[in-house]
Chain A
Amino acid sequence: MGCAPGLVAQQYCVSGTATSGDSFFRVGDPVAITAMVTPGTVSCTTSPLTNGFNGSSTTCTGSDTINMTSGSQSWTVPYINPFFNGSYIQAYGETDLPDPTIGYLGGGFTIIAFQGQTALASPPQQPGASAIVGVFFYLFYPVNLLANGTLPSTIPTPAAVNSAASTYIQFAVSDVSDDIANDTASFSYAGQICAGTCASAINTALSGPTLAAGNTLINATFTPASGYSLAQAAQVCGFVNFDWQQVITSLPSPSPYKQVGNPTPLTAPPPFLDPPPRGYTFELTADNSYPLFYDPATQLVGPDLFQEDTYTLYFSDRPGDSCLFGGLGLACGGLTAPAGKQLAFTTHLVGIMAGCTAPVPITCVQDTGIGFSWASTFNWTSGGVSTTKNTSPSPPDPGGGTGGITITNVNTITTYNYPRSNTSPPLTLLVGQVSVVASGLAYSRVSQTFNGTVTITNISGNTIAGPFQIVFDSLTAGVTLTNATSKFGGWSYVTVPTVENLAPRQSASAAVQFRNPSNGTINFAPVPYSGSFN
């Protein structure tokens, strides 16, 4: 059975034992009982809800079977009912049946509730248990759980709920009449469930960026769609949390910024992550955020006032570089960069992949492509020094400064899919590991394009697994990459062909072809990745 638009079929197989009201089983929990669905013919009817439920429900019957095994035990359910969006629910065994049992299955903030009271004629028996009676749950519809995970006292009508959700499985039992504390029930679930996608949770969830304080401050927020909390949206996407990842694609020389432990001023290109490993020398405290914008340790342990709360991830930055044109040249011997030079950034929403904990290796960071690119010519200081990654809400130093922030690109749509649609390794930003150079651009009057090559070279000491992607960040306005593989983060990218791995010092090239109606100078900031964007 296909899923409704906007939903994807995900195969689940979970089971366990629930104690009334407070036990939840999620996808990925250890499976004690496995179930296999054999698709068959199913017919459905819609009828009014009963037993105090309002609205209608769809009840389906058919010839499907579920084969269940546990250890050496096995049994078959001849057909299964209910049926929801291609999923099959089998709950069996409240210890004191025939009390009506309410279970609920669902995910995110929306739960699929169902009520059962009909015993199977030939119920499956739970191995080693007695007085277990199988139950058909045949009334079901989605309902919002309370914050503590229990059903609300008043069941809303179906029209008020979102049947689209069911992103992970929770199961619990509650006895509507007596001895709640002692009830237990076992369940298993197998088959497909039509779940909201990661994309539906995070697309168009970026607000901003907006500028403030005379265009010296940039702010943005990410609040997942459909009422998901950050944690719920992260789970939908296979993450444990979200963060930002910021790349500095342009930092002219002379530069006032130095990485801790490295006396050489930082410049870009080549692009580098903001902050770099160990942070900047201007930072008053140790910065272990790399390879993320906010310290992942902080992110992982709980909300931070300026970084995230339950529903929103915040972004704020106020860079100031006194070595830009017109500045004082502090830490640059009084020198400044030529006029027209600027800092440039690309800031993306990223996920910290499930199973990863702080300190997060860069291979655990999944770039969603959602984010924005921006530039700053602000040439003043904060706290007496030039700063980038300046998340302090305090204003810049008094006394002057010129320039400000310009937003150059915003992308609110992800190309990331979860579950991942292929077997490629996770997408990994390769700044600092791969250098990127380009040939000149020969103009063809035949194709009316500027043609050349872009070459990546592994400058790390380790072999890097492909495939390799080069994002053409900050491509000159009006210029298009006509042979782009697709887009990521709102910018075109090309996949480097034929190369599967790059050994140290090994290079690989991709042809590039630009259409440039103005015939002006073509420029971009190359941002290399390994892995696949989808």
Chain B
Amino acid sequence: MRQRASLLVASVLCFGSLASADIYDVTVDTSSISGTAGSLDFNFNPGPLVSQFASLQLLNFTSDGTLAGACPCGTGDVSGQLPATVTLDNGTGFNDYFDGFTFGTTLSFDMSLYGPALSTPDGISTSGSTFAFSMFYDTAGTIPALTTDTTDGFAFTVDVNLDGSTTVTNYSAQTIVAPQTIATPEPNLSLVTTVLTIALLVFHLRRRVRS
């Protein structure tokens, strides 16, 4: 019984965290460089002062291009491998996923940002965190593609700000970064408590009926 209650409480806590995730749908028209054997880079790093913990997931990666898959592709706090879900967090100074990629006509993925830096900004941190996505003409990742940012080569960046908001800066005319607003309502504590109470009562009554 105590275990079931703990599970329910944990579910509520997880739900609260997920409710504040920022999700972006990313779509890139790569038709102009289709067939190019290039590369993709994703990194998510803290700032140089005090950053609150944040995580990021790359989901639903889809393309008619081909990932090289010459992994391990991650450096730092990175897990998973594209096209499956890849998770990065800002736990080290450099958290990067880099893989060779032969471009097709399009690629897309979802990007979900979550964690206390987004859900419960502490008000005392002094650095945000930043995600950057880049595409390259070459497999070494030195010649930027599909971006006006020829100096640094970013297609777009997403800043996690100190107030928990996010800011997208898009340098690529071929890239669409669309926020996906989650309509999931915040869990109402009284409602959860009521449901939990009813569940416990039902469970208790069933046990009494059986006995």
Residues of A within 8 A of B (CB): 269-270, 436-447, 449-452, 454, 512, 514, 516, 519-524, 526
- Which residues does chain A contribute within 8 Å of B46, judged by CB atoms? 440-441, 521
- Which residues does chain B contribute within 8 Å of A449, judged by CB atoms? 152
Give the complex CA separation of A181 and B45 in angstroms.
79
Of the listed stretches B4-12, B154-162, B190-198, name the one at the interface; the rest are far from the partner chain.
B154-162
Give the complex CA separation of A151 and B142 in angstroms.
72
B128 at the interface (CB under 8 A from A): yes
Give the complex CA separation of A519 and B96 in angstroms.
10
Which residues between 81 and 105 of chain B lie within 8 Å of chain A, taking CB atoms? 90, 92-94, 96, 98
Task: Classify chain B's interface size.
Answer: 35 or more
Q: Is the CB of B151 within 8 A of A446?
A: yes
B136 at the interface (CB under 8 A from A): yes
Contact with A269, one of B45, B50, B75 (Cβ below 8 angstroms):
B50
Q: Is the CB of A441 within 8 A of B41?
A: no
Given A440-B160, A446-B144, are A269 and B152 also a contact pair (CB < 8 Å)?
A: no
Q: Is the CB of A516 within 8 A of B154?
A: no
- Which residues does chain B contribute within 8 Å of A526, judged by CB atoms? 49
B185 at the interface (CB under 8 A from A): no
Given A443-B96, A446-B151, A447-B151, are A438 and B127 also a contact pair (CB < 8 Å)?
A: yes
Instruction: Jot down 21 A-B pairs with beta carbons below 8 A, ordered by A.
Output: A269-B50, A437-B49, A438-B127, A438-B128, A440-B129, A442-B130, A442-B154, A443-B43, A443-B96, A444-B134, A444-B151, A444-B153, A444-B154, A445-B41, A446-B134, A446-B142, A446-B150, A446-B153, A452-B47, A452-B130, A454-B48
Which single residue of chain A is at the shortest CB-CB distance from B150? Answer: A446
Q: Give a binary string over B105-146; 1 marks a CB under 8 Å from any A CB, 0 the rest.
A: 000000000000000000000111111101010000111100
- Which residues does chain A contribute within 8 Å of B141, judged by CB atoms? 445
- Which residues does chain B contribute within 8 Å of A447, judged by CB atoms? 151-153
Which residues between 52 and 99 of chain B lie within 8 Å of chain A, taking CB atoms? 75-76, 90, 92-94, 96, 98
B172 at the interface (CB under 8 A from A): no
Give the complex CA separation of A448 and B180 in angstroms.
31
Q: Is the CB of A441 within 8 A of B48?
A: yes
- Which residues does chain B contribute within 8 Å of A442, judged by CB atoms? 43, 45, 130-132, 152, 154, 157
Give the complex CA separation of A91 and B24 in angstroms.
82
Q: 5 tightest CB-CB pairs across the interface, nearest first?
A: A440-B130, A521-B93, A442-B132, A444-B152, A440-B129
- Which residues does chain A contribute within 8 Å of B151, judged by CB atoms? 444, 446-447
From A269, A436, A444, A521, name the one whose CB has the most chain B CB atoms within 10 angstroms: A444
- Which residues does chain A contribute within 8 Å of B92, judged by CB atoms? 520-521
Q: Is the CB of B142 within 8 A of A520?
A: no
Which single residue of chain A is at the shortest CB-CB distance from B39? Answer: A445
Q: Is the CB of A443 within 8 A of B132?
A: yes
B30 at the interface (CB under 8 A from A): no
A255 to chain B, nearest CB (A): 13
- Which residues does chain B contribute within 8 Å of A270, judged by CB atoms? 126
- Which residues does chain A contribute within 8 Å of B48, judged by CB atoms? 438, 441, 452, 454, 512, 514, 522-524
In addition to A437-B128, A443-B43, A512-B48, 7 A-B residue pairs with Cβ atoms within 8 Å of each other are: A438-B128, A440-B44, A441-B47, A441-B130, A446-B153, A516-B93, A524-B49
- Which residues does chain B contribute within 8 Å of A519, judged by CB atoms? 75-76, 93-94
B131 to chain A, nearest CB (A): 7
- Which residues does chain A contribute within 8 Å of B43, judged by CB atoms? 442-443
Give the complex CA separation of A228 and B59 in angstroms.
69
Give the complex CA separation of A167 and B142 in angstroms.
56
Which single residue of chain A is at the shortest CB-CB distance from B134? Answer: A445
Given A436-B126, A437-B162, A438-B128, are A443 and B50 also a contact pair (CB < 8 Å)?
A: no
- Which residues does chain A contribute within 8 Å of B128, judged by CB atoms? 437-440
B190 to chain A, nearest CB (A): 35
- Which residues does chain A contribute within 8 Å of B175, judged by CB atoms? none
B51 at the interface (CB under 8 A from A): yes
From B49, B131, B132, B136, name the one whose CB has the most chain A CB atoms within 10 angstroms: B49
Q: Is the CB of A451 within 8 A of B162?
A: no
